Structures are given as structure tokens and as C-alpha cells.
Amino acid sequence: MQFGGRVAVGLAAVVLVGCGSPAAPAPAATTTPATTTTATATATATTVRATSTLPAPPQRVVVLDPGHNGGNGTHPAEIGRPVPDGRSGTKACNTTGTATDAGYPEHAFTWDVAQRVRRALEADGVRVVLTRPDDTGVGPCVDERGRAGEAAGADAVVSIHADGAAPGGSGFHVALSDPPLHPAQGAPARELALAVRDALRTGGFTDSDYTGEQALTPRPDLAGLNHSTRPAVLVECANMRNAAEAALVSSEAGRERYAEAIAAGILTYLG
């Protein structure tokens, strides 16, 4: 609009000269808006450049620990050797885990659910680190799994399991290290546990009726949690010896439900 105004003034000056009258000087006001506009544009461009150079927020990192491993059963000596439990005692390096009465193993369930949780978290921009690369190996030991969060710089660590309790028991529960051995095992771990618990409830899963209170189980004996210096919890998704829950964990649809709920809880915790 300012450019058009200057053209109009210029034409008026030409007409006056052609009629034999002296040309009037261009009003000073015609140059002021152009100067203001230029200054505003320069300031805007500077602001845009400054904004575009702001660092991106740090990427969130989550460690997923699929319980046990497919090769554990054929390496009893290796997984049976003692390792530090984090409380001045020892635990077996690892175990084979449990299974349904029909033979569907816990290690296969945890591996499948972890893959589904990983995909959901990565779709939200989270970097996911797994404590084991496949379901055919041996270990790693529980103390190594417990240190994985610190090695990855994780914001949260979630160990995925299923229980092998008496057939009459059912429901999920979330374990956390207690009493805490590290600040992250205190309020941050409890916050993570509550977020995962509430998401599982929202997903239609029921609290355990055979252990814990309000689906939370504080425990001193889980080495993977004791060694963690990052907020860490262990989720016992179901009782694989319960007929109804065995059918659920053995189905693809059931595993997807568990994964969706666990991922939702983790994302809630991450904010």
C-alpha cells in the first residue's frame, strides 16, 4: 500500500509541472510508513531466525525389559549362577519363567507384548531400548537388566512379566522396589507404577485378588528393580495358571490389549 501511495504522489507532481506550476516537495509523511514497515519486517525476520534456532526438546527414552528368554531352559548352569541382588545378597542370574497349562511360555508372551509396546511408544517419538534383542537367547542376568536404565539414560524402565500363581488367583499387579535404595526408586517409581496401574484398569484389566494392595506390590527381592537408578517397575500382567487369563495372554488380541494399556501408562508418566 505504501508503494502505491508514492506512485500517486509522483504522478501528481508531474501533472503540476506540466501545467507550468512549481513542483511541490514530497510530504515527509510518505517516507515514514515505509521506514516503519521495513523496521517491523526486519524485527519479524530476526524473531523467526531466533525461534528456528532453539534446540529441540530432548528425546524421551524408555527401557523395556521382556522377562526371561527363550534359551534359558537349555542353559540351567548359566542362568542358575548367583549374581548380586542389590541388597547385599544374591539371586539366580535368571529363570525360565512360567507357562500356561497348555504350554504357552511366559518368555514368548513378554517378548510379544514388549514389541507391541515398543511400536506404540516409537510412534509417539520415544526412543525404546530392549534388554534383550530376541526370544532365542540366554539371560541377560537380572543385575544387568537392572542397570540397563542407567546405561540408556532412560526416563523410565518397565519390566514385563506374567505370573504363575495358584489357578484360583487372577488379575494384574505392579511391583516396585521397597524400601527404596535410590531416590528414583521412591516417588518417581511410585508415580510410574500408578500410571501403569491406572492405564491397565482403564484397559479393562482387574487388580490382582491374590497379592498386593490396590494392584501395587512393594518388594525387596526383585534384583532388576533393586539395581535400577532410574524409575523402574515390574508388571505381572496376568496369572498364566488361571484358565481365563491363560486364554487371554495366549491370544493376539489379548496381548495387544495389554500392550496398549502399558504403553498408555508409560506415556502418561512421561507427560
Annotated catalytic sites, by residue? 236
**C-alpha to C-alpha distance for 70 and 87, rounded to whole angstroms:** 28
Within 10 Å of residue 237's Cβ, how many Cβ atoms? 30
107 and 69 in contact (C-beta within 8 Å)? yes
For the chain, how are helix, strand and coil distributed in percent, rounded to 5? 45, 15, 35
- What is the SS3 assignment for 145? helix
**C-alpha to C-alpha distance for 204 and 200, rounded to whole angstroms:** 7
Within 10 Å of residue 101's Cβ, how many Cβ atoms? 11
236 and 175 in contact (C-beta within 8 Å)? yes
Peptide bond just before 183 cis, omega within 30 deg? no
59 and 152 in contact (C-beta within 8 Å)? no
Three-state SS for 241-259 is CCHHHHHHHHCHHHHHHHH
- Which helix (H) or strand (E) segment holds residue 14: the answer is helix 2-18
95 and 82 in contact (C-beta within 8 Å)? no
Nearest to 66 by CA among 133, 160, 141: 160
